[in-house]
Structure 1
Amino acid sequence: MTYLTFVRKERRLLTFAISLTFFSSFGQTFLLSLFVPYFLTAFDLSNASFGTLYSLATLTGAMALPYLGQWIDRIPLRNYSMYVASGLLVAAILMSIAWHVAMLFVALIFLRLTGQGLSGHTAQATMARIYDRDRGKALSISALGYPIGEAILPSLIAFMMVYMHWRTVWGFVAGLIALFFIPVLWSLIKNESTTVEKSEEDVGTTRENYSKIFSDNRTFYTIPAILIPPFWVTGLFLYQVSAAGDMGWTAAIVASAFVAFAISRIVSGLLSGPMIDRFSAQTLFPFFLIPMMLGLTVAIFFSGTWTAFIYMGLVGVTLGLSSTFKSSLWAELYGTKMIGTVQSLFASIMVFSTALSPFLMGWMLDSGFTLTSIFVIALTSSFFSALLSCRLFFKS
């Protein structure tokens, strides 16, 4: 089935999934970082104290994710998606009225959990479960909400904050979620015939599912490769503007290179769908780190403005492939009945790794590591992770 035919036929569920991945932006670091200067002033926080608060909020959400994420396997999708959207609404409301640092902390927990965690989880688990032959296309299309949010929302939010208080901006976000996102989501999913509640016997207990996951050797072949891109991208993107002088890049060059990152992520994400449908995610997975490794190699051995664009573009290719490959791989390895449990577990592990990345990167930079030396470490760890994932070829 071609992309156009597939989109026309499945436009309702695809729109549902894209809406979730787009609105997940409100819990993502790239958008929340815009508010950090205002948080520091309003709550009299230092950079270090806010960083600790943010990491604790992220880790708290990560701990709750496996439990809350597995309920998508047990209750109707229309109910589950409304719970997730309502949680995002509560987070935005709390942020708009936060008058104490404790309320800011609770708002951050809800934003990280429902935004970064459960919104994307709901979209990807739904696509992976419902579609079989066209799973790759469904996942790649649903993931478009991520780069669309990255392209549109930062400029829009920055423009709004020129004329409004930051709390007012969050009030508008809450209104957008309540008056647009939730009604649209409900209209798309309320009559969906696939939202049938599954019994405990169908999906098994959480303990049984975890036992199945960790007794499968292929799990340990995939975990390092899954964690490497978000771990290094989180740390490198957070500090690369301040450390870009090591590479001869300016802040303007790094900002411009994000265009290459976004475009390559969209294109590779769309191309990954038909590739998975033809060859399977299990066959292709060992190769998805190669573009990122090539980008790191270019940044290590070459200098000049152009290297920033090549590096960011190739990293974007790996990120675009990653979001589609992972969800499809879980369905292939563990089946679709427990896809919510599997995906939420690995998402939680990923969030833990991204929470640790800024601490490690900050320590390395403070200890005298150059950006080039960090690129070498990232490249080495990516190479061995990719090598380990090659064991997926041996389907045991």
Structure 2
Amino acid sequence: MRNYLQFVLREHRLLSFGFTFTFFSSFGQTFLISLFVPFFLTAFNLTNASFGSLYSLATLSSALTLPFAGKWIDHLPLKKFSLMVAMGLMLAAFTVSISWHVIVLFIGLLLLRLSGQGLSGHTAQTAMAKFFRLQRGKALSIANLGYPMGEAVLPLIITALIPILSWRGAWGGISVAIGILLIPFILNILSGKTEELTTPDTGSGDDESSPANYNLVLSDKRFYLLLPAVLLPSFWVTGLFLYQVAIAEQLGWSATLIASAFVAFAIARIISSLGVGPVIDKLSARQLFPYYLLPMGAGFLTAYFHTGAWSAFGYMFLLGMTMGFGGSIKSALWAEMYGEDSVGTIRSLFSSVMVLSTALSPFLMGWLIDHAVAMTSILLSAVTSVVLASGLALLAFQEKFWS
């Protein structure tokens, strides 16, 4: 803890940048958008399955755009890139607030998923991985605290605002908050020496390195073995959180209980994120990656048996552990495998595939719920997927397997 405090005091400007961007990414995350789903269904006369399809299409469109937008963090000054992301997020919230037709709602959701879930987290984690080489694990752990902070604080604020402002007014307020808080923050924090540090030496401005980097990953056999473990947390958490109320009813939990259990999710994410940073710096992300899904698997088993109200908290706590571990381990892993200079380009590719998986999840989960598939069957499938993905990840780093 003493080392953490010294590190934070010494590098507070860039660390606060990372924390702030992961916090503001919440406005494009499923857990926050899910709070508005009942209002979307009523206002636009949608079913769970039809909204799931709309949300999946918006997320899919975001995934296809992310590799092209995300790679520019390796070629533009961080200040310029982050301002573009912030303005995109502000526009997204405004678009949702004025949506008078389902097509306009779709555009707003697309921009939220791209600027919020996609580029905001990408900006924070890429900056930490690029500019902290010796203490990358600690930097990622601290920056990633913005995720659980948003999960713990923003649902309470949003649920209080909606009855006062209406759901449209709440999105309008979010847009204004981004304009008066996030954008001035970026202009202030990325100035002076910090701005010089985060401005790349672009030389001739040639962009030839990006295609080579994509080819490097796609030709790497380890990519395909690691991919399931990369995708599973976002896939399952997106689907389960988007329809959390319907799922809670099947498992005998009240909506209030599952909402309260988000506190356990946030606490676990904070503890695991802080705890894993020094371990990454000591052991490497390669050694930790194959095991980071195991708490999530245990969480699915806890929900599968769901014996009593305590199981909701255990389920959410264990899911939070994997999300906390994964945020730091995955970003550090790309830097270890492919180098710091191209981490933004590489990470945007992985993020795009990850977002693609989250595009499929709402549609699939909505269809299963509408067709009365038992939640215990879904959870058992989730446990099986965790076991298989962890096994493939172990295989990816076995040198004997490749020799």
Note whether the superposition's TM-score is higher than 0.5. yes
- Which residue matches 1:32? 33
Matched to 1:281, the amino acid is: A
CA distance, structure 1, for counterparts of residue 156 and residue 34 of structure 2:
13
- C-alpha change, 1:369 and 1:166, in structure 2 (3 Å) is closer
CA distance, structure 1, for counterparts of residue 309 and residue 177 of structure 2:
39
Q: 1:351 aligns with which of 348, 355, 360?
A: 355
Provide, for residues 43-72 of structure 1, a one-character-per-residue CA deviation record: whole Å limited to 9, x for no partner: 444444333222221111111000000010
- C-alpha change, 1:173 and 1:246, in structure 2 (3 Å) is closer
CA distance, structure 1, for counterparts of residue 45 and residue 252 of structure 2:
34
Q: Is this contact kept in 1: 2:291–2:390, CA < 8 A?
A: yes
- Which residue matches 1:164? 165
Deviation at 1:247, TM superposition (A): 3.3
Deviation at 1:38, TM superposition (A): 2.9
CA distance, structure 2, for counterparts of residue 102 and residue 241 of structure 1:
26
2:304 is aligned with 1:303:
no
- C-alpha change, 1:239 and 1:173, in structure 2 (3 Å) is closer
Q: Is this contact kept in 1: 2:56–2:358, CA < 8 A?
A: no
CA distance, structure 2, for counterparts of residue 186 and residue 53 of structure 1:
35
CA distance, structure 2, for counterparts of residue 176 and residue 256 of structure 1:
26
Q: Is this contact kept in 1: 2:290–2:391, CA < 8 A?
A: yes
- C-alpha change, 1:202 and 1:287, in structure 2 (3 Å) is farther
Matched to 2:67, the amino acid is: P
Deviation at 1:138, TM superposition (A): 0.4
Compute the TM-score of the two structures, normalised by the length of structure 1.
0.94
- Which residue matches 2:13? 12
Q: Is this contact kept in 2: 1:244–1:371, CA < 8 A?
A: no
2:147 is aligned with 1:143:
no
Aligned residues: 396
Compute the TM-score of the two structures, normalised by the length of structure 2.
0.92
Deviation at 1:368, TM superposition (A): 4.8
Q: Percent identity?
A: 52
Deviation at 1:362, TM superposition (A): 3.3
Deviation at 1:182, TM superposition (A): 0.2
Deviation at 1:104, TM superposition (A): 2.1
Q: Is this contact kept in 2: 1:16–1:188, CA < 8 A?
A: yes
RMSD of the TM alignment (CA)? 2.0
- Which residue matches 2:101? 100
2:126 is aligned with 1:125:
yes
SS of alignment partner, residue 190 of structure 1: coil
- C-alpha change, 1:362 and 1:42, in structure 2 (3 Å) is closer
CA distance, structure 1, for counterparts of residue 351 and residue 98 of structure 2:
30
- Which residue matches 2:198? 195
Q: Is this contact kept in 2: 1:269–1:321, CA < 8 A?
A: yes
2:63 is aligned with 1:59:
no
Provide, for residues 123-177 of structure 1, a one-character-per-residue CA deviation record: whole Å limited to 9, x for no partner: 0000001111110010011011111111111111111121113332222222211
Matched to 1:360, the amino acid is: L
CA distance, structure 1, for counterparts of residue 18 and residue 282 of structure 2:
22
CA distance, structure 1, for counterparts of residue 265 and residue 208 of structure 2:
40
Provide, for residues 333-362 of structure 1, a one-character-per-residue CA deviation record: whole Å limited to 9, x for no partner: 010111111111111111111111122233
- C-alpha change, 1:82 and 1:302, in structure 2 (3 Å) is closer
- C-alpha change, 1:292 and 1:139, in structure 2 (3 Å) is same
CA distance, structure 2, for counterparts of residue 88 and residue 363 of structure 1:
29
2:394 is aligned with 1:390:
yes
- C-alpha change, 1:257 and 1:167, in structure 2 (3 Å) is closer
Matched to 1:196, the amino acid is: T
- C-alpha change, 1:53 and 1:297, in structure 2 (3 Å) is closer
SS of alignment partner, residue 264 of structure 1: helix
